[in-house]
Amino acid sequence: MSALTRRSALALAAGALVSGRAEAAAPVHRCEDLIDSIGVNVHLGHGGTPYVARFDACAAALDALGVRHLRDDIVLTGAEPEGQFARIAALAGRGYRFSLVFYDGLTPGPRVPPEKFAAIARWSGGGLVIAEGGNEPPIAGRRDLPRLSADHQAALFRAVRMDVRDSEVRVAGPSYIQGNIAAAQNLAASVDLGNIHAYPGCEHPETDGGGSLARFVAASRPVFGPAPVIATENGYHTALATGSAHLPVSEGIRARYLPRLLLWSYLQGVRRTYLYELIASFDHGDGDPESRFGLLAYDGRPTPAFAAVRNLVRLFAGVGAAVPGDIAAEPAAAMPDLVSARFARADGALLVPLWLGIDGWDRRSLAPRPDAPPQAVDIFLSRRPGSVRLHRFADDGSVRVDGLAPERRVPVQVTDRLSVLEIT
């Protein structure tokens, strides 16, 4: 996997059409499955942050975003179910579902005893669907740490199985980072889901470099075995003045990349990707990455990335005219770096996302690269459609919609900004 090229990686994408080569057996994915694969991180137990100080505004932002899966770390204060769990239960009552981190005591923050699982599930008001092992435990630091991490994970797995044998709660492994995962013990018997933090850094989502999603997944296999994988953290920050090794991108590039990242992760088989994070927890300036991950700025202002993700979710959940039966849509000719797939929407529309999986960011100048020339792609439909619309995502998060001629041959100019054909 370490030698995976971009083209061969694209060829592995479930349902992806690579280099414009028509895949006769390419599946039609369900739009609701893509939407279900999207989550976002929150910090409802962190006092002094907007999540607590402006909880109602955060809840309203979540409603506007349209993402129903949330991830949070458990903060036990001795006052449960007040505080964090009151907020979790309130959101659970509105239909939100949670992955909650059971800290193992190896990272900063109090350990969450696995034997408290039943109480935590009760306090969560029916919203708990994933019980997650330790968050980025630094197990390479000492010989005994891999064992301590594995023991905590095994205890969590037993606690979930003992208390909710018939429930839908699943157990995810610890989120070992790349620098630690080689030291981990095999946890395949103690997980339902593998867990990765698949940040690409400043690389594009489809990269075959150090931020390659395929490499993150491959590195997790010796630990989690064949279990389905979730990415409990992923995304980009925009702290352009940072000295951190985690390099930034601009607001516009983040808005360009995030819809691609969510689609790419889904097509690569990642069961769910939780973006980091809903709102910036701090405002320590442009040198601090933790202050610039939020889809909402610290003051609650929606960023272009928020608009881009919201518009992706709205399009894939939207309402259109019904399609009378199945319809095929395939690129006509080979094209390097082209990514495409087919999605059936609940109302009967067929969506065909198209983009070039190329790098749009110059990490040295900290500026977008000059736009690559658009590439002409002909999409051939198996029969004449009723209507065709093209949704073009922009770097400010907006989407331009153009009507196209309802013919069997649909010409599209494809760039590294996501376009989606909507066929009815």
State the pLDDT at residue 17.
38
Cα angle 291, 293, 299 (rounded to 5 degrees) comes to 55
pLDDT-based confidence at residue 148 (cuts at 50, 70, 90): very high
Q: Which residues neighbour 365 within 8 Å (Cβ) at sequence distance 6 or greater?
A: none
Q: Which domains does the chain have, with CATH numbers?
A: 31-316 (3.20.20.80), 322-423 (2.60.40)
Q: What average pLDDT does range 367-376 have in this prediction?
A: 96
Q: Which residues neighbour 146 within 8 Å (Cβ) at sequence distance 6 or greater?
A: 139, 183, 184, 185
- Whether residue 75 has pLDDT greater than 80: yes
State the pLDDT at residue 166.
56
Query: Considering only CA atoms, which of 303, 241, 256 is closest in space to residue 278?
Result: 303
How much of the chain is in helix, strand and coil states, percent to nearest 5? 30, 20, 50
- Whether residue 4 has pLDDT greater than 50: no
Report the C-alpha gap between 193 and 230 in whole angstroms: 7
pLDDT-based confidence at residue 109 (cuts at 50, 70, 90): confident
**Cβ pair 38, 353 in contact under 8 A:** no
Task: Please state the pTM of the whole predicted model.
Answer: 0.93
- Whether residue 196 has pLDDT greater than 80: yes
State the pLDDT at residue 3.
35
Q: What is the DSSP letter of 79?
A: S
Q: pLDDT per residue over 199-246, tens digit each?
A: 999 999 999 999 999 999 999 999 999 999 999 999 999 999 999 999
State the pLDDT at residue 155.
98
Q: What average pLDDT does range 155-170 have in this prediction?
A: 86
Residue 18 DSSP SS3: helix
State the pLDDT at residue 154.
98
